[in-house]
Amino acid sequence: MNKTITLLGSTGSIGTQSLDVCRMHGYRVFGLAANSSVEKLLEQIREFHPRYVAVVDPAACQKLEASLAGQPDAPRLLQGADGLRELAAMEGPDVVLNAVVGIAGLDASLAAIESGHDLALANKESLVTGGHLVTDAVRAHGVHLLPVDSEHSAIFQCLQDAHSAKTLEKILLTASGGPFFGMTAGELRTKTKADALRHPNWNMGAKITIDSATLMNKGLELIEAAWLFGLPEDKIQIVVQRESIIHSAVQFADHSIIAQLGVPDMRIPIQYALTWPERLPSPVPELDFTALTKLSIAQADEETFRCLAACKKAIRKGGLAPCAANGANEAAVAHFLRDEIGFLDIGRLVEGVVDSDAFGGDYTLADVHECDRMARAYVEAHI
């Protein structure tokens, strides 16, 4: 199965694991994109020889351009956010994998879809902030939207029996619970950045790891699941699965439940998005059932973890409310990572912005970006 891939966000955690899959199966890399990690991007260019690279950060662009100067086989360099969108839209790849972090990935997702590319989506914010824009574009252009998040990939895999999928009744969306599972608000008040970055099961970037600690990540995934699979929020149940072995499950009309299990390694869902509908040997070790001592299930605590409650409020409000929640969270997490606010302030700010407006109605891409700006301004005014 020879495929050609464009990878957006190639130097991050999902990006580097995606290249593990490309390396194993000999996939050709058409384009790579990064924000600012020049040294890692140079290593990837030397190994995978893409025709194009895009770099968003201006200083990093200059540095990469100087490093590539005079090389006869150097890729063409595309610069800034416009360069990211241009790369996403280029003819050449069989699939575009979007692993950009944050709302910055939305425009690139739309560019890929509108250019007729199948989109492997690891950028959950594309659906959280612009859900109807993305899904309308997918329908209009007749492309496939292939989930990469481990939970959404699990649900997608469980629904591959098209006949049973018609009777989907409920989604069981699993969460690890993060490093602070079972703690009270009083205990969370003193938690630091170093505490929040100690995820028990997954190796992820800083922003997503903080989102896991606050359960914001699960709130965003609930919104994403509603758009991907067409179920309302009250048909998506979040359960804590501490070992991260059950990646999610679906319940059908007869109350049968089918789950997808595997070791906690993102290369499984990444590979399935790239090989779908086929399955190929994986770089991931198999799950040894004889070594499992328990598979625990618990309820998610949205009373303590207010980010999750805020995301549920946001999707019930509809319109741009999820976009506002995401923008406030991105801004608040940035402040937390700079030790400028406390851990519980993240949930306070996200919930505050969701409560600040009705947010209803239809919207355009320009409205999405204005709502994001407003949400970030709310955070600056309320920290």
What are φ and ψ of residue 73, in 5° steps?
Answer: -105, 20
Distance, CA of 233 to CA of 210 (rounded, Å)? 23
Q: How far apart are CA 253 and CA 272, in angstroms?
A: 26
H, E, C per residue of 7-48? EECCCCHHHHHHHHHHHHHCCEEEEEEECCCHHHHHHHHHHH
- What pLDDT, on a 0 to 100 scale, did the predictor assign at position 374? 97
Q: What is the pLDDT of residue 2?
A: 86
Residues flagged as binding site for NADPH: 11-14, 123, 125, 205
Cis, bond preceding 50 (omega within 30 deg of 0): no
Per-residue pLDDT tens over the stretch 325-344 = 999 999 999 999 999 999 99
Evaluate if residue 294 carries a pLDDT over 80: yes
Answer yes or no: are the C-beta atoms of 207 and 333 closer than 8 Å.
yes
Task: Give the annotated binding-site residues.
Answer: 11-14, 123-125, 149-151, 176, 199, 205, 212, 217-218, 221
What mean pLDDT do residues 240-244 have?
Answer: 95
pLDDT band at residue 346 under the 50/70/90 scheme: very high
Q: How confident is the model at residue 1 (pLDDT cuts 50, 70, 90)?
A: low
Token pair of 166 as six digits = 């018609």
290: Cβ–Cβ under 8 A, 6 or more apart, which residues?
none
Please identify which residue in the block is written with the tokens 């048909």. 235
Question: Known binding site for Mn(2+): residues?
Answer: 149, 151, 221
- This prediction has a pTM of 0.95
Q: What is the pLDDT of residue 202?
A: 67
pLDDT tens for each residue of 118-170: 999 999 999 999 999 999 999 999 999 999 999 999 999 999 999 999 999 99
| CB-CB contact of 172 with 257 (8 Å) | yes
Binding site members for 1-deoxy-D-xylulose 5-phosphate: 124, 150-151, 176, 199, 212, 217-218, 221
